[in-house]
Amino acid sequence: MMGRLPIAKMLAATIALTVAISAVMVSINWDGQEASTAAPKIDDLLNVMIVLSSFVFSLVMVMLFYALYAFRAKPGDESDGEPIHGNTRLEVAWTVIPTIIVLFGAGYSWSVLNDIEEPAENPLTVDVFSQQYAWSFGYPGKDNAYTEGELHVPVDRQVQFKMHALDVIHSFWVPEWRIKKDNVPGITTTAIVTPDEVGTYQLICTELCGFGHAAMRATVVVEPPAKFREWVTGLGEKIPPAYLETIRQDTETNPVPVGAGGA
Ligand SMILES: [Cu+2]
């Protein structure tokens, strides 16, 4: 017969294992440099999820190894196992605990997303055009200035990227900003980013879009506002008429209408 389970010891072992695993996993810099206001919030969220996952993993491992050890067959014991017919308390526990963890994760993620996508007072709008296998950019407020392969944005100002895919689905990703957003033909998707670190980064397509996908990159320059203005004023090209037509035809989608104050 099953004796009393050493609940206190199992809990202590679970917590010890959680702390040990979390200490290692959280100390690793998974996402690299942080260069937007969203980055530290997303990294904190990741760390919290790592601790919660470590807890679930530890709990399962401790119970598994305890069961393997405590209920192993004695030498020479050829009898059948006990006919066990469920355990209501245990089943309630293993339903309620994960539900609480998942709901907490959902609520926390929701609040982080709401926070980082909150539209600012005076954002800069940049049109992003993606096609196999290149990126180009338009600055609608600056006489439709246009550039290919190189994106400039001012530091410490919210940028709302309006994305237009011209052929297949692509995805916009600057790892140091953390934000990732699909570009979908026929609709305008919006990514909201406030870069807060001057520097040069890479825009990477992160949706397999064809043969040249791996090479579909662009240079991203985050610079002081005065330098940015100088650069954008010096651009000779205008957004091509066909691209302007694409903007007109695309249906506006997420995340929120500009200036609507968040979801
Ligand atoms: Cu791609």
Q: Compute the average pLDDT of residues 39-50.
A: 95
Q: How far is the CA of 97 from the centre of ligand 1 (A)?
A: 40
38-70 and 88-116 are packed helices; what angle lies between their axes, rounded to 10 degrees? 170
The answer for 34, left when phi > 0, alpha when psi is -120 to 50, beta otherwise, is beta
Q: How far is the CA of 154 from the centre of ligand 1 (A)?
A: 26
Q: How far is the CA of 168 from the centre of ligand 1 (A)?
A: 9
Q: Is pLDDT at 259 greater than 70 in this prediction?
A: no
Of all helices (H) and strands (E), which one includes residue 129? strand 124-131
Query: For 201-244, how does the pLDDT look when each residue is reduced to its tens digit (9 = 90+)?
Result: 999 999 999 999 999 999 999 999 999 999 999 988 889 988 88
pTM score: 0.83
258 or 97, which is more confident?
A: 97
Q: How far is the CA of 24 from the centre of ligand 1 (A)?
A: 33
Query: For 69-102, how does the pLDDT look when each residue is reduced to its tens digit (9 = 90+)?
Result: 988 888 888 888 888 888 898 899 889 988 999 9
22 or 263, which is more confident?
A: 22
Q: How far is the CA of 15 from the centre of ligand 1 (A)?
A: 43
Q: How far is the CA of 131 from the centre of ligand 1 (A)?
A: 9
Q: How far is the CA of 27 from the centre of ligand 1 (A)?
A: 31
Q: How far is the CA of 242 from the centre of ligand 1 (A)?
A: 22
Query: For 155-187, how does the pLDDT look when each residue is reduced to its tens digit (9 = 90+)?
Result: 999 999 999 999 999 999 999 999 999 999 888
Q: How far is the CA of 123 from the centre of ligand 1 (A)?
A: 27
Q: How far is the CA of 244 from the centre of ligand 1 (A)?
A: 22
Q: How far is the CA of 147 from the centre of ligand 1 (A)?
A: 19
Q: Which residues contact 251 (CB under 8 A, 6 or more apart)?
A: 186, 187, 188
For residue 140, which phi and psi values (nearest 5 degrees)? -60, -30
Residue type, 97: I
Q: Is pLDDT at 261 greater than 80 in this prediction?
A: no
Angle at 94 between CA 91 and CA 95, to 5 degrees: 85
Q: How far is the CA of 218 from the centre of ligand 1 (A)?
A: 12
Strand partners, 234: none
Q: How far is the CA of 165 from the centre of ligand 1 (A)?
A: 11
Q: How far is the CA of 151 from the centre of ligand 1 (A)?
A: 17
74 or 20, which is more confident?
A: 20
Please, what's the b/e burial string for 143-168 (b: 16 or more CB within 10 A of its CB; e: otherwise)? Answer: ebbbbeeebbbbbebbbbbbbbbbeb
